[in-house]
């Protein structure tokens, strides 16, 4: 149980949780370590890719300053859609004739590291693993198994299942040098019945399932201490403290629309530190909602999370967009520690307002970054200001917009006056530094 008390509002309560999780729950070696700027190929290609198309994405991304290329679903078995091959963790040689080793060498030549998507806990009915070991699934004898997303759940209470997964994952990591895994878990448990337990102990199955996950993760992170695992469960379905110890980074949501993410990340911020949250800049129009937003707005929203990256095809970008992304990456690299580990303040009280604002402040309170998104811009609207928080009242701060110097007291009581914004959900990010 994690409990916290504050007599100074929700933001103070949140920062207490943030410190506890970042400093006492997550593995200490990841507490301050920089998270890699990544590009994930999922929304760029979905299942339709080969070594050549992936290499093109990696080459373009490296030129922009990206640090890690993550290969998502579709690289294994006969996986050309979401109805087969989960559990068959061997390379699809039609897509990747030189295997993951070849792709790793090509990305390395571009200056990128390689990361990989896995969904170890699931199995497709149409898979070699399911045909060989049907008893390895959670299922009730004599009843039809419930499918969700065309997949079943492996029985993680079983040591033989965990041994199989450990061996196949180790074989991948040993042969490729991969040290970043996006660990997915895309359906809920239904028939919580394990063939390895007697009838009178079936009530233990769900609990033992989670303990089995922890046991497998313990073995992997012990053998590969530099392995960074990003956990994903239909988005943010696994933000529990036990998982955060092994997976200090969580994919917050499969919805990458930046305006939708304002609400998602607002809620997540009440308990979880930025260093545990992943967010990506995706294409516009957004694939989930069809909404169009400016590239700058997408960047501003994504940097509210510490785990930052892109989920688009850079080859489809114009020269101006590539130049802007290159500047975004340099900005994130310069302030990465502040984005990930700064004290977080929500400056707007609700996630349904026409504007959203938040800020991160350095521990010494000499630097801060304020981000503001206008979700409903108006013509000739009133001058708007945002009251900042967390600054030192007696110190003077220069802002990056107009270089005006104001005291921390003025910025926190009267606020920072925003320039007039226009466009489709415009955003602004302002850096404040003491003088």
Active site members? 184, 254
CB environment 387-413: b (16+ within 10 A), e (fewer)? ebbbbbeeebbebeeeeeebbbebbbe
Q: Tell me phi and psi for residue 318, to 5 degrees.
A: -80, 170
For residues 323 and 169, what is the distance between their CA atoms, to the nearest angstrom? 38
For 287, counting Cβ atoms within 10 Å of its Cβ (0-12 exposed, 13-18 middle, 19+ buried), the class is middle
How far lies 144's CA from each of 116, 215, 373, 410, 427, in Å?
33, 29, 49, 66, 51
Question: 10 Å Cβ neighbour count for 421?
Answer: 17
Tokens linked to 68: 């890690």
**Helix axis angle, 51-64 relative to 99-109, nearest 10°?**
30
Q: Hey, is 333 helix, strand or coil?
A: helix
Q: Answer for the pair 420, 377: CB distance below 8 angstroms, yes or no.
A: no
Q: Answer for the pair 89, 73: CB distance below 8 angstroms, yes or no.
A: no
Q: Answer for the pair 400, 431: CB distance below 8 angstroms, yes or no.
A: yes
Tokens linked to 75: 């690289």
Which among 312, 275, 332 has a CA at the least distance from the CA of 65? 332
For residues 407 and 416, what is the distance between their CA atoms, to the nearest angstrom? 11
Question: 10 Å Cβ neighbour count for 276?
Answer: 28
The sign of the torsion formed by the CA atoms of 409, 410, 414, 416 equals negative
């Amino acid at each position: 149980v994690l409990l916290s008390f504050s007599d100074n509002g929700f933001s103070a309560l949140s920062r207490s949780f943030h410190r506890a999780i970042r400093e006492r729950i997550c593995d200490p070696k990841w507490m301050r370590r920089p998270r890699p700027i990544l590009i994930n190929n999922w929304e760029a290609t979905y299942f339709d890719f080969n070594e050549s198309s992936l290499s093109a994405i990696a080459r373009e991304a490296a030129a922009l300053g990206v640090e890690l290329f993550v290969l998502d679903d579709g690289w294994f078995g006969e996986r050309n859609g979401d109805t087969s091959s989960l559990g068959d963790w061997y390379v699809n040689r039609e897509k990747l004739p030189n295997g993951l080793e070849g792709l790793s060498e090509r990305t390395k030549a571009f200056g990128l590291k390689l990361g990989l998507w896995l969904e170890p806990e699931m199995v497709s009915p149409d898979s070699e693993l399911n045909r060989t070991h049907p008893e390895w699934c959670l299922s009730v004898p004599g009843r039809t198994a419930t499918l969700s997303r065309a997949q079943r759940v492996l029985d993680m209470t079983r040591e033989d299942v965990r041994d199989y997964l450990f061996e196949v994952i180790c074989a991948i990591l040993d042969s490729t040098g991969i040290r970043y895994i996006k660990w997915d878990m895309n359906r809920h448990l239904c028939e919580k019945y394990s063939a390895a337990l007697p009838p009178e102990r079936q009530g233990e199955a769900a609990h033992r399932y989670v303990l089995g996950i922890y046991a497998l993760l313990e073995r992997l992170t012990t053998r590969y201490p530099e392995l960074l695992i990003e956990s994903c469960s239909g988005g943010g379905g696994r933000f529990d403290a036990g998982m955060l110890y092994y997976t200090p980074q969580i994919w917050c949501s499969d919805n990458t629309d930046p305006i939708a993410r304002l609400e998602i990340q607002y809620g997540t911020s009440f308990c979880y530190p930025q260093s545990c949250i992943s967010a990506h800049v995706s294409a516009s129009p957004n694939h989930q909602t069809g909404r169009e937003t400016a590239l700058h707005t997408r960047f501003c929203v994504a940097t509210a999370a510490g785990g930052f990256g892109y989920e688009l095809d850079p080859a489809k970008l114009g020269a101006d967009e590539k130049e802007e992304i290159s500047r975004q990456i340099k900005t994130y690299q310069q302030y990465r520690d502040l984005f990930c580990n700064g004290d977080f303040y929500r400056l707007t009280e609700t996630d349904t307002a026409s504007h959203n604002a938040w800020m991160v402040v350095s521990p010494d309170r000499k630097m801060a970054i304020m981000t503001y998104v206008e979700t409903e811009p108006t013509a000739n609207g009133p001058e708007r200001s945002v009251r900042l928080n967390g600054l030192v009242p007696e110190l003077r701060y220069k802002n990056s917009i107009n270089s005006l110097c104001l005291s921390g007291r003025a910025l926190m009581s009267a606020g920072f006056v925003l320039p007039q914004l226009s466009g489709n959900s415009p955003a602004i990010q302002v850096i404040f530094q003491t003088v």
